[in-house]
Amino acid sequence: MELKNYFVQNANGDILPGATAALYLPGTTSLVSDLKDSDGAALANPFAATADGLLQFAAPNGTYDLTVSTLGRSYTVRIQCNDGALRPRSGYYANARSEAPIE
């Protein structure tokens, strides 16, 4: 899971508190489950921005549509979550190398 942080702003850069956000499977109206907050606790979907306009959530690795609604308007952007802490199995790189040992 990757923790994402977005600030909801208007075209002038003003923070817009009170926005709501929903995370969907791409190209669908199916809400993503298993969202977490910054402490790892379950997070409802849809969820609200903080008073500072911060949208913060963690989602399983994948591609999603994030829809943000505020002041009677909705905007959708495609996002990707990718936890860089995940690494391939240790043998992957060893098996992929073709170097000969130095003697």
Q: How confident is the model at residue 28 (pLDDT cuts 50, 70, 90)?
A: very high
Mean pLDDT of 68-82: 92
Examine residue 90 and state whether it is found in any structural domain, yes or no.
Answer: no
Give residue for tokens 């170097």.
99
Q: What is the pLDDT of residues 62-73, one digit of tens each?
A: 999 999 999 888
Q: How confident is the model at residue 101 (pLDDT cuts 50, 70, 90)?
A: very low
Q: First-to-last CA distance in the chain?
A: 43
CATH code where residue 18 lies:
2.60.40.10
Task: Give yes or no for residue 26 having a pLDDT over 60.
Answer: yes
Residue 18, domain extent: 2-85
Eight-class DSSP state of 40? S
The pLDDT value recorded for residue 88 is 53
Determine the length of the chain.
Answer: 103
Examine residue 27 and state whether it is found in any structural domain, yes or no.
Answer: yes
Number of independent structural domains in the chain: 1
Number of neighbouring beta carbons within 10 Å of residue 4: 16
